[in-house]
Structure 1
Amino acid sequence: MANNITDKYCVRIKCNGIVGSGVLFSNEETFYVLTAAHCFGATIPDINNIIIEKQDDYASPFNNIKSTRIVEFNLEHDFALIEIDFAEEKRLLYQYKLGRGVLSNNEVKFCGYQAVNIDQHRPFEGKILSISDDKGKFKVTLVKDTFDQAGESGHTVAKGLSGSGVFIYRHNSPFLIGILNSVFTNKAWNDDIDCCSIKHLEKYITEYVDLSDFENLKKWNENLEIERTGKEIENFKKENNGFFEKLYGKNKVLYPDIEQANKVTTKQIRKFLAMRENIRTIEDEYPMLYSKFKTIVKRYVDQVEDDYSRSVNESKEAIDIKMRLQTELKEEFKVLPEFTNIDLSEFQIIEWLGICTLNFTLND
């Protein structure tokens, strides 16, 4: 899911000539940046010397984030927590959750700013090698990548990544489990990295998920999806009120029982939002395929308005017309590859209902 890409929580940190990485962290009260303590040097820094910056994507300009207070500075476990003045809460609608109980061989992802290219964050993939839950630390190693590049020492190539947030994905949801501390020896032996777990942040955590309890994790994720969908639908109603009212109006013709009309409209918005995201991906990555899709849609518009939109005597008549149109569209869309994995005909019917291209009214 695009909204769950962990890169958007990554920040760059500069302090007293040192460049490091960090991860946005929040509880119910405020926002923080979590990073490695050694990114600030051997002693607690002056708050005015800390520069925290964030990009919208790897190629965009940096936006400054104001540091307001050093909450924790712990050299023993190598982590620091900085309270920040952050006004982007709405943009982080899909915030990650915190995870404990990680297991060896779990795959992880992290993203940070290497000193060899401090102006662009870079994602990495790895897996957990070993865990010391008592000490609140774990070790990961890279997969698909290496810090041994072009004769440079691993320490030099990895420099700057300290403080990067380490995430595990479960059921397509990211969980922050800790931060990078340092590579193992100056040569980054075996591409291993020591990490600090979120165990040390327990007094700031209002909720975390036990990643070793698969049944509870599954139930939690199902509840999270319901919560996310509810928020998405409410936001969609506010931002696209005209579309929603028109769609709802047609559904009251198609389904005279108000409770059923409500359920159908909610399901349609949920599907529409999910499919729209997939179609945007098709538009970006497969423009020729997207062009064929839109050409078919354009060819049908006049026919839909003239031959399918009408006043009906009963809901069954409108349902039959809608189903006949959707069946025709499915046949038309068969020329497109099946790898899209979405019902383009259903998406288009919902869109047409919401913009009145397909219109049903009841005869008086």
Structure 2
Amino acid sequence: MPHKLLNKCCVRTAILIDGERANQGTGVILKHEGKHFVLTAEHCIHGDTGQYRGLDPGNIILEYQTSYDQDVFIPLVLKRIADINERYDWALLEIEDPEMDCDHMDILVGEKFLTEERVYFRGYQGINSAAPRTWDAKVIDLGEDEFKISLTQKTFSQSGTQGAAAAKGLSGSGVFIIRAKTVYLIGHLKSVVGTKALNDDIHCCRATNFKNTLAKSFVDLGDIDNIRLWEKAAEKKITEEDVKSWIENNDRHFNDLLRKTKVLTSDEERAEEMARRRILNFLDREYRNHNISGWGNLISQYNETSKSFEESVRDLYTRTVGSPNEAKDLLRKLEAEFTEHIKDLVGDKSNKQTIELARHKVTWWLMNCSFDFRD
């Protein structure tokens, strides 16, 4: 379903100059409040240097294919240029209902996405303008009005063709994130970096630049619930092999943790299992923290508030305990107090994420002896 949507919403654009097709690009179909639009790059309409500014809208060509292997293109009827912006390089063209076998309402528009997140775009290269192609990439930099992505599986440099030449025609291609089988448009392609498409990096226009014109509801992809969906889709399972490897490289931390779990239970086998389970959960949370660190300041603020909390309670929670039950109560109290401390920062209504983050940090304190108890 998600990739079918990418295929169905892809449009080839061009303009007529003296009766000849020129300036081929790509666009994406959007639907809002019963109206249909094609989003593309401004320079796909006005030219790289604005040489076609003032073009009669009747000379704008918009067309799509029902299947990539069909040579026939079906024209879209342009009603008006809804808005066009040279500074941010976007154009929104209202079209008549294309009556396609596709509900373009299923394409949501997203903002506040993450660095390192996987994205997709689909467009028509000038060197093969009869067949669209889908590309995999990842977000590598975020700016206020644009973002940069880099190809992950293919390259623009092909058969001696310089990258920028091979990429020509892809401008205006929609850039999409797919989370839990839901498609989010986050922007469109503007230009590659340099004539050689350096490192296969591409500058993209943020969808938020046309937010006021389209007035479409934008999904906050940095919202804690949306992050959880993304984590689930991109989840890496931490294995016992990962735990074993970590212990081999961090034996001092593991031994300090094991010493404390042996206070929690006199059963040595159970104590080692408790320590290993804590390590497994710690590594899993560490991996996810790394992946979402590009979203806002959540992880950096979490780390900062953890330091201040640690300083304020270290002496209170470091002591000799008289029994395993006293040690368990002390551990539960610390986890509960820190969970409450970061609750507003995390903003997780279910509290699951908050508890996981609190336990992750408490495990680290057990390993580095910021929180220490002995029998």
TM-score bracket relative to the smaller structure: 0.5 to 0.7
2:209 is equivalent to residue 200 of structure 1:
yes
- 3-state SS of 2:172 partner: coil
- For 1:216 and 1:39, locate their aligned partners in 2 and report how far apart those are by CA, in whole Å: 33
For residues 99-248 of structure 1, what are the structure 2 equivalents within 5 Å?
Answer: 99-133=110-144, 136-203=145-212, 204-216=214-226
Larger radius of gyration between Structure 1 and Structure 2: 2
- For 1:166 and 1:137, locate their aligned partners in 2 and report how far apart those are by CA, in whole Å: 12
- Residue 13 of structure 1 corresponds to 13
Contact map agreement 1:13 1:19 (CA 8 A) in 2? yes
| Residue type of the alignment partner of 1:100 | E
- Please report how far the alpha carbon of residue 216 of structure 1 lies from its aligned counterpart in structure 2 after TM superposition: 5.0
Normalised by the size of structure 1, how large is the TM-score? Answer: 0.57
Contact map agreement 2:192 2:203 (CA 8 A) in 1? yes
Structure 1 runs (4+) deviating above 3 angstroms are 1-5, 216-220
2:74 is equivalent to residue 74 of structure 1:
no
| Residue type of the alignment partner of 1:22 | G
- 3-state SS of 2:43 partner: helix
2:70 is equivalent to residue 65 of structure 1:
no
- For 2:204 and 2:3, locate their aligned partners in 1 and report how far apart those are by CA, in whole Å: 26
- Please report how far the alpha carbon of residue 48 of structure 1 lies from its aligned counterpart in structure 2 after TM superposition: 0.5
- For 1:78 and 1:14, locate their aligned partners in 2 and report how far apart those are by CA, in whole Å: 16
| Residue type of the alignment partner of 1:207 | S
| Residue type of the alignment partner of 1:187 | K
- 3-state SS of 1:91 partner: coil
- For 2:34 and 2:104, locate their aligned partners in 1 and report how far apart those are by CA, in whole Å: 16
| Residue type of the alignment partner of 1:77 | Y
- 3-state SS of 1:6 partner: helix
- For 2:228 and 2:5, locate their aligned partners in 1 and report how far apart those are by CA, in whole Å: 20
- For 1:158 and 1:3, locate their aligned partners in 2 and report how far apart those are by CA, in whole Å: 21
Query: Structure 2, unaligned stretches of length 5 or more?
Result: 231-375
Seq. identity, %: 38
- 3-state SS of 2:169 partner: coil
Contact map agreement 1:32 1:83 (CA 8 A) in 2? yes
Change (3 A) 1:151 1:86: same
- For 2:90 and 2:77, locate their aligned partners in 1 and report how far apart those are by CA, in whole Å: 19
Change (3 A) 1:173 1:25: same
2:61 is equivalent to residue 56 of structure 1:
no
Contact map agreement 2:113 2:222 (CA 8 A) in 1? yes
| Residue type of the alignment partner of 1:57 | S
- For 1:3 and 1:150, locate their aligned partners in 2 and report how far apart those are by CA, in whole Å: 28
For residues 210-289 of structure 1, what are the structure 2 equivalents within 5 Å?
Answer: 210-216=220-226
- Please report how far the alpha carbon of residue 56 of structure 1 lies from its aligned counterpart in structure 2 after TM superposition: 1.4
Contact map agreement 2:119 2:138 (CA 8 A) in 1? yes
Instruction: List per-residue Cα deviations over 1:230-274 (Å, max 9, x = no partner).
Output: xxxxxxxxxxxxxxxxxxxxxxxxxxxxxxxxxxxxxxxxxxxxx
| Residue type of the alignment partner of 2:12 | R
- For 1:176 and 1:47, locate their aligned partners in 2 and report how far apart those are by CA, in whole Å: 25
- Residue 88 of structure 1 corresponds to 99
How many residues align? The count is 218
Contact map agreement 2:8 2:102 (CA 8 A) in 1? no
- Please report how far the alpha carbon of residue 68 of structure 1 lies from its aligned counterpart in structure 2 after TM superposition: 1.1
Normalised by the size of structure 2, how large is the TM-score? Answer: 0.55
Query: Structure 1, unaligned stretches of length 5 or more?
Result: 221-364
